[in-house]
Amino acid sequence: MVDANEIERAKDHFGKILEEQLKRVQAMKEDQGWTDYAKLDTIIIGVCGGDGIGPYISRSAQNVLESLLADEIKSGKVEIRQIDGLTIENRVKAMKAIPDDVLAELKKCHVILKGPTTTPKKGDPWPNIESANVAMRRELDLFANVRPVKVPEIGVDWVFFRENTEGSYVLGSQGVNVNDDLAIDFCVATTQGTERLIRLAFEHARKNGIDKVSIVTKANVVKTTDGKFLSIAAEVAKDYPEIKWDDWFIDIMTAKLIDPYRRKEFRVIALPNLYGDILTDEAAQIQGGVGTAGSANIGKRYAMFEAIHGSAPRMVEEGRAQYADPSSMIKAAAMLLGHIGTWTRARSWRWPSRSAPSMRRPRS
């Protein structure tokens, strides 16, 4: 028998989500543009170790930054700040994905180098608090997750542009248990959020002489949100007539990335949040594993750089955390250097898009 009270509670919950998302749309419409690092007196880099193996590998990457930026630090052009408090223990104590005092410190930085953080799951001893990554991307509006994967000997040279602030993850902790028998989660797509992500991907292709962008959805089944993503891609593509584009469904794309004949054809790949999470881990495995890949989370005001793997609590429990491979964090540090414009110190990575005036910097 249908319980009218259960339906009303679910409707009220959904109404609050709609209000929140419509406010976010309005904020995107009022956007003030990109941070111009060249005009800053001091670029503040926050190093946030996270938990598990995070502090260990972050320390290694911070050592690299301090060595490469020694002149800039000495002159006051760059300041590196240590930001603590993003451990699972502190987050549970505050019962927030990011405690308020930590978030306030993060917002004082221009760019952030972040170690892995633990996200509780069913069966863990921790309360089911939201992912710190999801919360940080939302709070700092880090709308583009950019992950490069390159294996020259097999012809792989990909850059993934994963939408970071919408899709199936952004409301991942705000689903509703209507009753014991029915649970519903939500997926979000906005015109503004989708367009800025896809446009960034096309700008990267244009600025780097790449003539192909691939869009990944499941628009044949998820017709509303994925359909919107694909439709907006078709409109954005009209502004880049020199760039070919095609679209793939997520299931077949996972197969084509390991197809030795087809995978060489892919260069820039743009996709919603959930699919991007899946494909970029698969791509990292082709490169050598998730420990080999860094990740950029780009917004117009802030940027955050991180490893793509987790906090590896088992390594901590076994007393092996100090031996964790820092390659992913050092890669992230290189991407950070490229983002703020220190090209000669980050030759392995060139910023994916210099479309905004604040991003246009000479190549090394």
DSSP code string of 131-197: PHHHHHHHHTT--EEEEEEEEGGGTEEEEEEEE-SSBTTTTTT--EEEETTEEE---B--HHHHHHH
As a whole number of angstroms, the distance between CA 108 and CA 335 comes to 20
As a whole number of angstroms, the distance between CA 225 and CA 301 comes to 26
Residue 181 and residue 234 in contact, taking contact as beta carbons nearer than 8 Å: no
Q: Cα 27–29–30 angle (5° rounding)? A: 65
Task: Tell me if 55 is assigned to some domain.
Answer: yes
Give the residue ranges of DSSP H helices in the chain: 4-29, 54-68, 70-75, 88-94, 100-106, 132-139, 191-207, 225-237, 250-256, 273-287, 313-317, 327-340
Task: Tell me if 4 is assigned to some domain.
Answer: no
What is the predicted pLDDT for the residue at 342?
58
Task: Tell me if 312 is assigned to some domain.
Answer: yes
Residue 82: strand, helix, or coil = strand
As a whole number of angstroms, the distance between CA 264 and CA 343 comes to 27
Task: Tell me if 91 is assigned to some domain.
Answer: yes
- Cα radius of gyration (the chain): 21
Residue type, 290: V
Domain count, the chain: 1
What is the predicted pLDDT for the residue at 347?
45
Q: Residue 66: give its domain's CATH number.
A: 3.40.50
The pTM assigned to this predicted structure is 0.85
What is the predicted pLDDT for the residue at 193?
94
Task: Tell me if 259 is assigned to some domain.
Answer: no
Domain that holds residue 49: 31-142+299-364
What is the predicted pLDDT for the residue at 114?
95
**pLDDT digit of tens for each residue in the chain (364 aa)?**
778 999 999 999 899 999 999 999 999 998 778 888 888 999 999 999 999 899 999 999 999 999 999 999 999 999 999 999 999 899 999 999 999 999 999 999 999 999 999 888 777 788 878 888 888 988 999 999 999 999 999 999 999 999 999 988 878 778 888 998 999 889 999 999 999 999 999 999 999 999 999 999 999 999 999 999 999 999 999 999 999 999 999 999 999 999 999 999 999 999 999 999 999 999 999 988 887 888 899 999 999 999 888 888 888 889 998 988 898 999 999 999 988 885 444 444 445 443 333 333 323 2
Task: Tell me if 192 is assigned to some domain.
Answer: no
Residue 230 and residue 247 in contact, taking contact as beta carbons nearer than 8 Å: yes
Q: 173: closest CA among 136, 128, 143?
A: 128
Task: Tell me if 285 is assigned to some domain.
Answer: no
Helices 327-340 and 54-68 cross at an angle (nearest 10°) of 40
Task: Tell me if 213 is assigned to some domain.
Answer: no
Residue type, 259: D
What is the predicted pLDDT for the residue at 158?
96
What is the predicted pLDDT for the residue at 364?
29
